[in-house]
Amino acid sequence: MKFRSRSYAAFAISNNVFLSLLGLICILPLIHVLAVSFSSRAAATANIVNFWPVGFTLDAYAKTLDNEKFLTAMWIGAERTILGTIISMAVITMASYSLSKTSIRFPGRQVYTWIFVFTMLFSGGLIPSYIVISKLHLLDTIWSLVLPGAVSVWNMILMLNFFRTIPQDLEEAAYIDGAGHLRVLWSVYLPVSMPSIATLSLFTMVSHWNSWFDGVIYMSKPEGYPLASYLHSMIVSDNLSRIGVSAESIANFSNRTVKAAQIFIGALPILLVYPFLQKYFVKGIVLGSVKS
Amino acid sequence: MKRYVKLAKGVTLSLVIGMLPTLAACSDNNSGETNNAAANQAANNGATKTDVPPNEIYKQKFDPPITITTAVVDDGASRGNAFKPGESMEDNVHLRWMKENMGIDIKFDFIVTKPEDYDTKIRLLLSSGGKLPDVFGAPGDSVQNLIDADRVMPLNEAIEKYAHPEFKKILEKYDYALGEVKRDGKLYGLPGFFMGDEGTVMWIRKDWLDTLGLQPPKTIAELENVLKQFTENDPDGNGKADTFGLAVPLKEGPWTWMGQTDAIVSAFTKQMINTYDVRSYWNKGDDGKLSYGAIHPDAKKYLETMRDWMSKGYMDKEAGIKDPMKASEMAASGKAGVMFGPFWMGDWPLNDATKLNPKADFQPFPLPAGPDGLVGRAEKSITAGFTMFNKDFKGIEAWFAYFNKIFAKNLEQEGDPYFDPRFKDGYHEGYDYVNLDGKIIKGNYKEAGVPEDKWPLKDGSRMDMRFMIANGILGGTTTIPFSNDEPIKKFLADPNAEPLTTREFDVKQMVKKQITAAGVRMNQGIEEGKNYFTGPMTETMKSKGELLKKLATESYLKIIYGEKPLDYFDEFTKQWLENGGEKITEEVNEWYSKSQ
Amino acid sequence: MASYWRKTWPFHLLVLPALILCIIFQYIPLFGVVIAFQDYQPWLGIKKSAWVGLTHFRTLFEYPDSKQVIWNTLIIASFKLVINLFVPIVFALLLNEIVKTYFKRILQTLVYLPHFLSWVILGGIMIDILSTDGGIVNRVINAFGGQSIFFLGDGQWFRLTVIISDVWKEFGFSAIIFLATLVGINPALYEAAEIDGATRWQQVIHISVPLIMPIVIVVATLSLGRILDAGFDQILNLYNPLVYSHGDIIDTFVYRVGLNNGQFSFGTAVGLFKSVIGFILIIISYRLAYKLANYRIF
């Protein structure tokens, strides 16, 4: 690196410091949640836990991991995330390939894009969607979680824009070699698009992992809930006004340490996926720089 | 595992269960036809059940078995030890017992984890033409829809024919609270009741009172002094001005489920006030008309006091952004010394204060009197929701057979023909009780000398049977309001008394402070202020209710925070009336005069 | 025509799976929007519910609070839109300047974390850190001699708090897309510029920024579709009666109205209204981008 001017050095240092601070601000809440999960119930009730457990105990984790439903839900969450991401990325990649062509090469592409963009904004709402899923006999199947959101138009548009930046001559060279479109997509587009594919896969995974509403709606028993649906019901039930409160139930309702443990364990898998995908867009330079 | 032992404490029967909505859909499985036929026959001549003499009616058994499909809210986490490992809501000892001994087979159409989700599912089933229902707890906003749509059955006849006589009496007694499910003189739903024991008491840090040499306050003026001392005189003796008097959530206005200020309101007026729901409180005036409490001029006295305390720092400065949970942190963490709320606060959250600081001792006290000697509190609605029956449901006799059995068990009345002697000692041996050489033991198994292999649960804790028993089809219908009162009196008189009934046993499991607090509530002998409007939402409530709720809660808070002068109240009242309040008042009174 | 199909059929074929899914799960349910023009009652269904025309749309504007609520929505949403675009870009550019890969990766992971905490959890945490009574933020303000600020209870501050906390929560996640783009830039370009004697700053301005511009425009355009989404979940968990006047937004308002009464029709009508506005904005900016930059966003 050649930028050793003094001002750049000063910039680099302050940049490092600034970004480190930023990173710190971002991780503190999670540390707080973590600390709560290791604290005693009383400490959590009084909310005196900051960033270090008060009355250290592993109870919350014991209870969480002992809970069969939690583990089942985690598995279903993983299942839908993996299946959903594969389907979604496959569908989107193919469509984006076509739609990234110019109107000259693919007249009519714009009809398609507008058809898709329209659905980004307009939706029929809960009831008709439910009726469709129900008529297709997809209720209580993993497909009800995977298929309806498979065509993420947002991701599709990003993808087609990424594809557009791929040099034309790469593609043409392939055609000259006699490759078909699928072949070009597979062996020319995909390898050079790893950073974007990693990015969009991440978006897809995250949204699958986090969506809870469809699970609640389309599954008839909590045994079918993905983790997000399961957690949602655990975490948001703080409002007791609708429920008669009994001396017995109150203590269970207020168990914040277990909630904290569940939040943490629940977020863990998707947090762990990140560094793995990250390498594609931090080190992706090598791929992105394929020369023509 | 201290927490598990804790679970084995007082049970206010089926309060949570009371909200467990139930849904049963016409079973369209293979057994559907047979049981419909059977039920039809049963309905016609009552002959398909095993014939039993009237004094042994508990022996009723249906043959061929009747299937009742249902649904339930069960989040699996907040209920403690409801099932043994390997058993579940859908498969457990009680369901097997029912099938074997009563010929009733319960099937679950769906199970959700939250009441909101349940409501959504019901609406979806309604909207998508899904099959609805045999027996179900109707979500509040669907009750009218269901009656309108003629999808539910009027129950008068079935109640007359099959219901336990004591239940009929209860229905009569609380008839005033059933407005929502009454239409043209017919009753379309059975109420699930609350226990009625959640009336506000005043919780105060006794140790702080002692430290500062103060007496428990008997009047609002004395309370104000306590708040002042707690705020200014460093009751925790740490040398810092980090305490204040009253922990209170105001995010939802004066009335909520914990930390509510109904007692302060009632010290100044007989009006009950809730700003956060346009359906309550409607108070009855001397002229017999109903009027909305939150706009009554008397509310100014309450606002003036609250505003004064807020400006002096006697109460949580951030009360306006806090919900009850958040507000209770202030009490539990030793920042605030006074909080109002139900008896159960003696465990969570206030006992947690003691766990963190052994000196912290919240004790329940009677409510303070106002300048004119007024003392009072508001009544939490006694109904917890309604169980409704599909118009096409043919097995209502079977439902009542089961209902009567459980109801009789709760009642524990001598010579009751509905009482099933098989449940004499409890529901199921090895679950809610253990028979140790003829001695019935229902809890604290270790202390009672029960060998470990006979404990219902491996950790020796007690099982919470409510979820198994209510199992969706009963809702909270078997709860008998105020049935905790007698047992509480018994244990107040003699804490070591031997519990004889299940009810008594449940009460004995409560934390001591909870029992004390329940006693404080009962002994003060306050007649709780009722909400006289129990009908369905009126048209204008539907269209303008939200607006008025926002207006009222916002205005109250602005006045309490001093952002608006006290006189702004008059302006608010005017706006409230103009923006639909007047029309609503008319509608409410129209309903009231009709329902009389 | 035949030649058109012969030339383009592979393209059509590749779009087909997406199109089919889209039609089944998006277009077929679209019939549901008709309830925006009905007084929809669940038990009657769409076929039998009464038609009421534009009543619900009018209702949205006729509430005494309507103006205020719409204004709050616009203010909060547009600030969020702009800042949520700007901050991640700047962050991505700054992060791109970090040389050490491991440090870069750690930082990137850290800022990505808040995205995974729900507002229910953050709501409670924010009340604590913003407390006027010993909250960390106010302690810092006091240390600098400032007066404590009631962030969540004071209207103007509430808006600011909502905007900043949302940016804080999302910037790390939003930055990923720009980072991926930056990474995709051919290093040869920088090398060439360096040979020409360009400073790092000049390289950023003349290479990095122009090259991520298309993505920025795309993201900005798509975000415009949500101009009336001010963040339902967040506001629902943070607002309170003290800040209704500055913090109540369309979505929270509709939510509360719906709670009272399950008003499907009203909610659908409002949703439709929001969609139409968003769609119009997208069309406009699509046209603008095409006219001014000769760039088709999609």
Contact B355 A42 (CB under 8 A): yes
A281 pLDDT band, cuts 50/70/90, is low
Q: Which of B186, B81, B203, B66 is nearest to B135 (CA)?
A: B66
Contact B579 C245 (CB under 8 A): no
Token pair recorded at residue A63: 């209870």
Angle between helices A153-164 and A109-121 (to 10 degrees): 140
Per DSSP, the three-state class of B391 is coil
CA-nearest residue of chain A to B70?
A220
Per DSSP, the three-state class of C133 is coil
Residue A155 confidence (pLDDT) above 60:
yes
- Give me the amino acid identity at B180: E
Token pair recorded at residue C167: 């940016």
* Domain tally, chain A: 2
Tell me: the pLDDT tens digits for B376-412? 999 988 888 899 998 989 999 999 999 999 999 988 8
The 3-state secondary structure of A119-154, one letter per residue: HHHCCCCHHHHHHHHHHCCCCCCCHHHHCCCCCCHH
Partner C, chain A 247-266, Cβ-Cβ below 8 Å: 263
Tell me: the pLDDT tens digits for C172-196? 999 998 988 888 788 888 889 989 8
Q: How do strand B135-138 and strand B383-389 relate by DSSP bridges? A: antiparallel
Contact C241 B320 (CB under 8 A): yes
Q: Which CATH number fits domain C54-293: 3.40.50.300, 3.40.50.2000, 1.10.3720.10, 3.30.565.10?
A: 1.10.3720.10
**Signed CA dihedral, B449, B454, B458, B463: sign only:** negative
Contact B26, B131 (CB under 8 A): yes
Angle between helices C250-261 and C264-293 (to 10 degrees): 160
Mean pLDDT, to the nearest integer, of B48-74? 83
**Signed CA dihedral, C67, C68, C73, C78: sign only:** positive
Contact B352 A253 (CB under 8 A): no
Considering the segment(s) B2-6+13-196+383-427+465-469 as one domain, its CATH architecture is: 3-Layer(aba) Sandwich (3.40)
Contact C168 A121 (CB under 8 A): no
C256 touches chain B (CB under 8 A): yes
Contact C184 A162 (CB under 8 A): yes
Tell me: the pLDDT tens digits for B247-268? 999 999 999 989 999 999 999 9
What distance in Å separates residue A251's CA from the closest CA in chain B? 6
Per DSSP, the three-state class of B268 is helix
What distance in Å separates residue B33's CA from the closest CA in chain C? 25
Contact C29 A161 (CB under 8 A): no
Q: Which of B223, B159, B148, B211 is nearest to B181 (CA)?
A: B148
User: What CA–CA distances, in Å, run from B76 to A70, A242, B274, B594?
Assistant: 10, 18, 32, 43
Provide the pLDDT for residue B16: 32
Residue B32 confidence (pLDDT) above 80:
no
CA B386 – CA B147 distance, rounded (Å): 12
B45 pLDDT band, cuts 50/70/90, is very low
User: What CA–CA distances, in Å, run from C31 to A115, A131, A134, B330?
Assistant: 16, 11, 16, 51
Same domain, A49 and A173: no
First to last CA, chain C: 25
Q: Which of B335, B342, B378 is nearest to B12 (CA)?
A: B342
Contact B346, B511 (CB under 8 A): yes
Contact C110 A27 (CB under 8 A): yes
**Residue that the structure tokens 């059929």 belong to:** C9
Contact B102, B94 (CB under 8 A): no
Q: Cβ atoms within 10 A of the Cβ of B116, count? A: 18
Contact C252, C228 (CB under 8 A): no
Alpha helical stretches, state H, chain A: 6-37, 41-46, 59-66, 68-99, 109-121, 126-135, 143-146, 153-164, 168-176, 181-184, 190-192, 194-210, 213-218, 227-235, 247-253, 256-282, 285-288
Intervals of CATH 1.10.3720.10 along chain C: 54-293
CA A285 – CA A280 distance, rounded (Å): 8
* CA neighbours closer than 13 Å in the CB half-sphere of residue A31: 10
Smallest Cβ distance to A124: which of C32, C114, C172?
C32
Same domain, A165 and A179: yes
Contact C8 A108 (CB under 8 A): yes
Mean pLDDT, to the nearest integer, of B184-211? 93
B6 pLDDT band, cuts 50/70/90, is very low
B35 pLDDT band, cuts 50/70/90, is very low
Is the pTM higher than 0.90? The answer reads no
CA B362 – CA B337 distance, rounded (Å): 8
The full set of domain ranges for chain B reads: 2-6+13-196+383-427+465-469, 201-378+529-595
* CA neighbours closer than 13 Å in the CB half-sphere of residue C276: 9
A273 touches chain C (CB under 8 A): no
Tell me: the pLDDT tens digits for C102-123? 898 899 889 989 998 889 889 8
What distance in Å separates residue A15's CA from the closest CA in chain B? 37
Q: Cβ atoms within 10 A of the Cβ of C270, count? A: 23
User: Can you point out the beta strands (E) in B330-407?
Assistant: 336-341, 362-365, 383-389
Cβ neighbours of A19 in C, within 8 Å: 91, 94-95, 98, 107
First to last CA, chain B: 54
C31 touches chain B (CB under 8 A): no
Contact B382, B550 (CB under 8 A): no
* More confidently predicted of B140 and A153: A153
Do B2-6+13-196+383-427+465-469 and B201-378+529-595 have matching folds?
Answer: yes
Mutation target for A interface from B87, B109, B113: give the one with most A CBs within 10 A. B113
A43 touches chain B (CB under 8 A): yes
Mean pLDDT, to the nearest integer, of B32-44? 40
Least confident of A11-20, A54-63, A235-244, C56-65: A235-244
Token pair recorded at residue C185: 């830039």
What distance in Å separates residue B488's CA from the closest CA in chain A? 13
B11 pLDDT band, cuts 50/70/90, is very low
User: Which residues form the domain of A22?
Assistant: 1-57
Average pLDDT of chain B to the nearest whole number: 86
Domain's final residue, options A13, A42, A57: A57
Residue A165 confidence (pLDDT) above 60:
yes
CA C67 – CA C285 distance, rounded (Å): 26
Contact B56, B63 (CB under 8 A): no
Same domain, A67 and A53: no
Same domain, A40 and A173: no
* Neighbouring residues of B367: CB distance < 8 A, sequence distance ≥ 6: B200, B201, B202, B263, B266, B267, B375, B376, B377, B524, B526
Contact C43 B546 (CB under 8 A): no
Q: What element of type H or E holds C105? A: helix C101-112
CA B230 – CA B211 distance, rounded (Å): 10
Same domain, A88 and A224: yes
A286 pLDDT band, cuts 50/70/90, is very low
Smallest Cβ distance to B321: which of C44, C64, C240?
C240
Smallest Cβ distance to C127: which of B326, B554, B561?
B326
Tell me: the pLDDT tens digits for B325-383? 899 999 999 999 999 999 999 988 999 899 889 999 999 999 999 999 999 999 988 88
Q: What is the ipTM of this complex?
A: 0.90
CATH number of B201-378+529-595: 3.40.190.10
Tell me: the pLDDT tens digits for A182-223? 888 888 888 888 888 988 999 999 999 999 999 999 999 888
Token pair recorded at residue C46: 């769409």
> Using alpha carbons only, what angle is made at residue B157 by residues B156 and B160, rounded to the nearest 5 degrees?
85
Contact A241 B256 (CB under 8 A): yes
Provide the pLDDT for residue A249: 59
